[in-house]
Structure 1
Amino acid sequence: MSAKRVNTTATARLRQDYLRIRKDPVPYVKAAPLPSNILEWHYVVTGPENSPYEGGTYHGKLVFPREFPFKPPSIYMITPNGRFKLNTRLCLSISDFHPDTWNPAWSVSTILTGMLSFMLEKTPTLGSLETSDYTKRQLAAQSNTFNLKDKIFCELFPEDAERIREDIRKREEEMIESTRQAVQNTNQSSSNRNANGGEDRNQGLIGSAISNILVIVGLAVFAYTVKYVLRTIVE
């Protein structure tokens, strides 16, 4: 009877938190529970401007105990980020590593705001990493395609998943246009050289051969790039 009452309390509180975070979103943060288990929430953190995480999207999860809000949740990061280890319980003042500092009045919004604040710091803790800002920026650039591989991310945050797909499509179109322009410019340059009466036949042949080589190289680089992007998304 007691366990049922505690579980009902946790469920009611988490439903209230979900309504609150939807009505009053937290900057840079989204969160939603699993449809099948309200005790497991997934969140998405968008890298703040002027930080090493800018442009990145970071997926993680919160696992709440049945005694919530009287006991704190476990906090995990799923997307490579350079600040936290992956799929590892993080030792934060708002996590289950420190029940002595936990405040039952803290909501999901409070937890995620605190987690983001700690992410932007460099204070070491159990579950944290030490990496350069360059590494963090590299991981930020790779984070979006990484998240598309995660089924839960795509199901709980469909708008973010579609935004990422659209960004990838735009980059592919830009690569196609860039390659097309390069080939067109090369062909035009070759035509101009061949039309110049001051060049002899050998020079014309050499210029044409070079142009053809550049066209082939350009197409090969483009094909490899598109293949890599698509393979990254599918894997």
Structure 2
Amino acid sequence: MASTKPRKQPTAISRMRQDYMRLKRDPLPYITAEPLPNNILEWHYVVKGPANTPYYGGYYHGTLLFPREFPFKPPSIYMLTPNGRFKTNTRLCLSISDFHPDTWNPTWCVGTILTGLLSFMLESTPTLGSIETTTYEKQSYARKSLEYNLKDPIFRELFPEVCEEINKLLEDEKQKLALLNGELNRKSVNNVIPATNNENSSNGAQHVKSDECENKRKSIINWPGLYSNLVIGISFSIFALVVNYVIKNLNQE
């Protein structure tokens, strides 16, 4: 006779469900995680960059791939969003990953793994799968991460609330940019108008100056010409007197 006892679920699946309920009951700061609907052994997570770090404003998507032997064996950890700390689509060598089964503790849960990942992300300790970048580069990755994640269909499916939050941030940024451009345009117009007025004033001043110069030029006495005319007049008068004198003497004779 066949046994009627219910089949016992594999340890990994049972533990995954417990961890999932625990995360829903006590959410982690800066971290959101969801398993695939059709595969509870593949979890996707989103790490939100904490304030006062180069990752602030960024959203970092990655995966945890659990073995069926979990919790007795650790998961593989991947980062999918470019971030400046870890290589993307590369197994990360961490004490909480399958690179170090010797340091793994079966009491660690999904929350412990993700908390450890965030802690290591905020450090600068090198490891297999890590990269070195400047603070500016990390900040640049943080800004680009928003639109980058929205292109991922799995990200959109598993994290609709995060997508809504990202869309709001992008819209706010778009409005701020539009206001800034409008302010710059207004300042540009205000700078052009005074310049035009100054130009008109300058042209008017030049016309006034030109008229003044013309008047001064006309008012200046042409002394050489006046002297020549005076000499000619005197000479003509003397000539007339001499001619008159000669004629008078001839009449007397």
Q: TM > 0.5 between the two?
A: yes
What residue is the counterpart of 2:17 in the other structure?
15
What residue is the counterpart of 1:169 in the other structure?
171
Measured after TM superposition, the shift of residue 91 of structure 1 is 0.9
Letter in 2 for 1:44: V
Matched residue count:
198
Residues 187 and 134 of structure 1: CA distance in aligned 2, closer, same or farther (over 3 Å): closer
SS at match of 2:40: strand
Distance in 1 (CA, whole Å) between partners of 2:151 and 2:131 is 23
Q: Give the greater-gyration-radius structure (CA).
A: 2
Distance in 2 (CA, whole Å) between partners of 1:114 and 1:73 is 13
Measured after TM superposition, the shift of residue 194 of structure 1 is 4.3
Kept in 2: contact 1:193–1:199 (CA 8 A): no
Distance in 2 (CA, whole Å) between partners of 1:122 and 1:192 is 54
Residues 70 and 149 of structure 1: CA distance in aligned 2, closer, same or farther (over 3 Å): same
TM-score scaled by length of structure 2: 0.72
Distance in 1 (CA, whole Å) between partners of 2:164 and 2:10 is 35
TM-score scaled by length of structure 1: 0.78
Q: Deviations over 1:2-31 (max 9, x none)?
A: xx85x6221111011001011101111111
What residue is the counterpart of 2:86 in the other structure?
84
Q: Deviations over 1:122-179 (max 9, x none)?
A: 1111111122222212211211111111111111111111111111112222222222
1:153-168 mapped onto 2 (5 Å cutoff): 153-168=155-170
1:53-68 mapped onto 2 (5 Å cutoff): 53-68=55-70
1:74 aligns with 2:73: no
1:180-199 mapped onto 2 (5 Å cutoff): 180-194=182-196, 198-199=201-202
Residues 121 and 186 of structure 1: CA distance in aligned 2, closer, same or farther (over 3 Å): closer
Distance in 2 (CA, whole Å) between partners of 1:50 and 1:168 is 21
Q: Which runs of 5+ in 2 are unaligned?
A: 1-6, 207-253
Instruction: Provide the aligned C-alpha RMSD in A.
Output: 2.0
Letter in 1 for 2:57: G
SS at match of 1:66: coil
- Percent identical among aligned pairs is 58
Distance in 1 (CA, whole Å) between partners of 2:186 and 2:137 is 37
SS at match of 2:60: strand
Letter in 1 for 2:105: N
SS at match of 1:38: strand
Distance in 2 (CA, whole Å) between partners of 1:92 and 1:108 is 14
Q: Which runs of 5+ in 1 are unaligned?
A: 204-235
**Match for residue 120 of structure 1 among 102, 116, 122:** 122
Measured after TM superposition, the shift of residue 58 of structure 1 is 0.7
Letter in 2 for 1:94: I
SS at match of 2:168: helix
